[in-house]
Chains A and B, each alone.
Chain A
């Protein structure tokens, strides 16, 4: 009797799985649906109001809902409190920058009438005053006009110590922000500030947040931080369910052409493999941070995979401090390392040919000396340079040594799979020329910890440390951690020059470029920087690290930029 019951249970379970699988959801292949896309989207369905909370949407087939997958959930949506990339790329969805960047990373005016320049009088001759002229038709999603006061308020909130903001950069470079009138913002600087275009990637609504600040003395706990129901982008925030999703619906008060897609649904899926599966099944229309190894699988499933340069390049930072391995002080040893590591093969084999070796920290920007090419793979030349530098295997243990010091270098990076694979390959190839590599990997919050927190790179425990980095705020090329003054000390443990490199030539060049508001002059300075760093192997590029995006066949008219991926989101469409 029991046995019969068990069999019935098992059968019932299997039938239940099939029944539930069959009901409620579509069984159609991605790319096919009954949705009518012939009528203009704007007339299909009235957009929801920002405060609509329920998720129930009975008119399912009439709406164009694009599902994006984010592998990290937002921490907050208030731009001044977050440095999370997955949040900052949403600013173009629901907030509004003064200017955005197109797919050639050229600035495109959004709130301003034109980009300020010396030619049009927007930038004074001394480069210390910049005037922004705002459009007179721009407004927040609740209909309130966007004025110069919103710019002043945003600046004040970032700089006020009552707000525990994520970063005051680059706003701390300004001496003042004033509103000459409702449509004119005047920015003043103590010194010319070349990276001024990194400013105003978002705006805070003064009419919503000023009362909160006045009442509470801070914006730290403002409801708007987690539910910014007033925005200025093509979409407006509707809902964020912790751990699950966030919804942005069409902004009826958008001051540009209305978006074609009704709703952007962002689902938080932390697991890479699950993201890939969701893209394959059509449960998602867009995903990013796709593991290189999954790209062929996705392409086989009809998913478009594109790479968009965003200024990041993966590379090795060398430790030049006195207590490090003395070998790294010798440029010939560093050159030998570059020659002994086959980075082209790395790109082809581990990264499936989807990228290529990086020649500089500024690859894919106009700031790299065009004559630079990555060091070739030449182990024989590497051996010759090491011999010449006096590093020979005198004790026949397989590793070169000099004056009793073995050429064994400690190498650390984060636990990301591709980085650990790279470590293994490097260890094997460098061993071929007699260089030992002692590899370590850490969680990101430990690896990037500061000196006072015992971070291994910051504390000088590693000879080589690897990660992917780019300019401070792409597409501007500024970099801050090469200055001598940034070397961590007991008095200044937060210093960011973990390489402990104090090079007067480099120091001078970096200081010079921040003051050059003329593009051509600044470009020449960066040519010198990139050439100098390449010739002296101060940083060794492994691969260019573009953002990899997976897009379902349903998405149409997609244009993305590395600086602001969703700059043209309002023009995207969906074919259901």
Chain B
């Protein structure tokens, strides 16, 4: 197993290199980072020329990639525009642990920009994932055990309504009902945006209240897929001989379902969850935007819209590493769940 993990990690190195090259090339066509600089109008020509030079955007793409990868502290650039490179570069490059500084939050290290958002994203996404898994297991198991019952059909229909609705619609609808309308009707209402009420402060109960609508919005659209997976795998397992054997041995129904059936039925679910957990770090772009949740999804969107290559590259490389790591963890989980699987 140890050798297997090391082999997988070594294989990841060239993979990450290729991913970084592809992403960097794609990023060059993303837009012009100094087109407006976030303002309401185009950047003035003198400033455009100066910023292009000072930010190193006048260098060929391969040079910019090289700087990103190995830094530019071995090179000089022309800061004052006199045609003579005189100012030494400051960047160390990704290989020396320096992802550069954000072009939007000028001077702020990329890792600092990303790190600030990770806890918020994990809080929101982990809560949503827990809600999704708990409800998906309950719904999936119930549907499998009561196949084609009225309840099964109703749950299936509701799940698919959620699945087929765009998240922005669910999110805005939930704000409209639970915030705007509930307040108008004189009912206790939920906050519409943000993480807390500034009059009260950032207390755990405030954060919890502000999480309800975004978590439920994410859960509602994701429940259907998970619950259908569980339903179908449970149906398959429940017809296996060892389930009949377990029942014949006189084991209690709930014990058979949870220990014998659900554990074996969860293998495909682990694959899906394993991949999804990696993407939790990426945040929920639309949900975070609508509920003004300060997570990674919004960070990505904000910085893509300003063509902030260092930050966007940092986010995407972090996601790439996370996906690779979680794939390895998923493979290990297989071996634990299914003793027939062995890695050489």
Contacts and interface: CB of A to CB of B under 8 A. Distances in A.
Nearest to A280: B180
11 contacts: A20-B190, A20-B209, A21-B178, A57-B201, A78-B106, A220-B101, A271-B292, A277-B192, A281-B180, A448-B32, A480-B44
B32 A9 contact: no
A72 B190 CA distance: 24
Contacts of A65: 198-199
Interface residues of A, number: 93
A55 B188 contact: no
Nearest to B219: A13
Interface in B15-49: 30-49
Contacts of B51: 164, 166
A3 B144 CA distance: 12
A25 interface: yes
Nearest to A169: B44
A1 B141 CA distance: 12
A455 B45 contact: no
A449 B189 contact: no
A21 to B, nearest CB: 4
A450 B212 CA distance: 44
Given A17-B212, A445-B33, A496-B42, A283 B193 contact: yes
A311 to B, nearest CB: 10
Interface string B105-117: 1111000010011
B284 interface: no
Interface in B269-313: 289-295, 298-299, 301-302, 305-307
A270 B209 contact: no
Contact of B39 (A23, A83, A243, A244): A83
A495 interface: yes
A274 to B, nearest CB: 5
B192 A274 contact: yes
Nearest to B80: A161
Given A281-B180, A469-B41, A55 B291 contact: no
A18 to B, nearest CB: 6
Contacts of A244: 120, 194-195, 292, 294
A278 B101 CA distance: 33
B176 to A, nearest CB: 7
Given A82-B37, A280-B180, A161 B46 contact: no
Given A57-B198, A81-B107, A445-B307, 11 more contacts: A2-B141, A26-B197, A60-B200, A167-B43, A168-B47, A243-B294, A243-B298, A268-B294, A277-B172, A444-B305, A445-B36
Given A83-B37, A221-B107, A469-B41, A494 B48 contact: yes
Interface string A22-44: 11111101000000000000000
A21 B206 CA distance: 10
Contacts of B178: 17, 21
Given A161-B79, A169-B47, A56 B201 contact: yes
B151 A3 contact: yes
A22 to B, nearest CB: 4
B55 A164 contact: yes
A73 interface: yes
A277 B168 CA distance: 14
A534 interface: no
Interface string B170-187: 001001101110110011
A242 B198 contact: no
B114 to A, nearest CB: 10
Contacts of A83: 36-39, 43
A495 B48 CA distance: 9
Query: Which size class do B's interface residues fall under?
Result: 35 or more
Given A242-B116, A494-B45, A448 B36 contact: yes
User: 8 tightest CB-CB pairs across the interface, nearest first?
Assistant: A243-B294, A445-B31, A221-B107, A449-B32, A22-B188, A83-B39, A161-B80, A244-B294
B49 to A, nearest CB: 5
Contacts of A458: 42
Interface of A, helix, strand, loop or mixed by DSSP: loop
A312 interface: yes
Interface string A68-103: 010011011010011111000000000000000000
A486 B202 contact: no
B188 A27 contact: yes
A143 to B, nearest CB: 27
Given A25-B191, A449-B31, A265 B198 contact: yes
B205 interface: yes
A403 interface: no
Nearest to A166: B37
A257 to B, nearest CB: 24
A283 B191 contact: yes
A21 B182 contact: yes
Nearest to B199: A60
B238 interface: no
Interface string A219-231: 0111001100000
Contacts of B54: 161, 164
A269 B193 contact: yes
A162 interface: yes
A55 B202 contact: yes
A423 B30 CA distance: 24
Contact of B201 (A60, A78, A81): A60
Among B193, B196, B257, max chain A CB count under 10 A is at: B193
A274 B292 contact: yes
B38 A84 contact: yes
B263 interface: no
Contact of B46 (A169, A226, A450): A169
B208 interface: yes
A6 B116 contact: no
Contacts of A274: 172, 175, 192-193, 289-292
